[in-house]
Amino acid sequence: MKITAPRASDKSATYDHIAPHYDKAMRPLERWLLARLRAKTFAALPATARLLEVGAGTGANFGLYPESARGVASELSFKMLELARGKERKRRLHLVQNCAEKLPFADASFDAAVATLVFCSIASPTEAFAELRRVVRAGGTIALLEHVRPKGLLGYVFDALSILTVALFDDHFNRRTAEEAERAGLSITRIERHALGIINIIILKNNEK
């Protein structure tokens, strides 16, 4: 079965539809595991930095930003961004609508970047990582919290599940995100595997260019 990657406009429409139900649907997972892992992911970022968040969604991470935070939280879905605007956030954190593969920022605009549960649904991780390399300064940190294809036999189960999840809500259950980041020229500093290796914290460094 061949899956064609949706265009950015199609992906935006998908998440516009999901947006009103997203926080409620995610609440059990947040309480069980994700809230703690989000905090650990943000802890890997510099305390004072020009920061970019890719795929900010409904603003689940806003409370984790350090007090001195300044930068941009970007999101493709208008409806997700609309919900995010209603949440409390740091004064110098600006919201921008854009897709991860075409970031509207100058080269080396940020000291660090973060994305949580985003690369599973990006149409082209290769292009998105290339853009992160461009807009994050050389030597900067990129911190990810992602669900990925686990190792061993469970990986084949996720390959099968991905056929269904891509068709239903454009979520790739079998992405190898760390490997894709490395192929794009980023260095892996640390990987923490949780929940049988399904959920990973991936800390990356933007190599000297």
Q: Is residue 2 part of a domain?
A: no
The yes-or-no verdict on residue 12 having pLDDT over 90 is no
138-166, pLDDT tens digit by residue?
A: 999 999 999 999 999 999 999 999 998 88
Q: What is the pTM of this model?
A: 0.91
The DSSP letter of residue 64 is G
Q: Is residue 30 part of a domain?
A: yes
Task: Report the half-sphere exposure of 151 (CA within 13 A, side-chain side).
Answer: 6
| CATH code of the domain covering residue 196 | 3.40.50.150
Q: Is residue 65 part of a domain?
A: yes
Q: Is residue 164 part of a domain?
A: yes
Q: Is residue 64 part of a domain?
A: yes
The parent domain of residue 33 ranges over 8-206
Q: Is residue 70 part of a domain?
A: yes
Give how many domains the chain has, as a whole number. Answer: 1
Q: Is residue 81 part of a domain?
A: yes
- For the record, the structure tokens of 117 come out as 């549960």
Sheet holding 186-194, edge to edge: 93-97, 70-75, 50-54, 110-116, 136-147, 199-206, 186-194
The yes-or-no verdict on residue 51 having pLDDT over 80 is yes
Q: Is residue 138 part of a domain?
A: yes
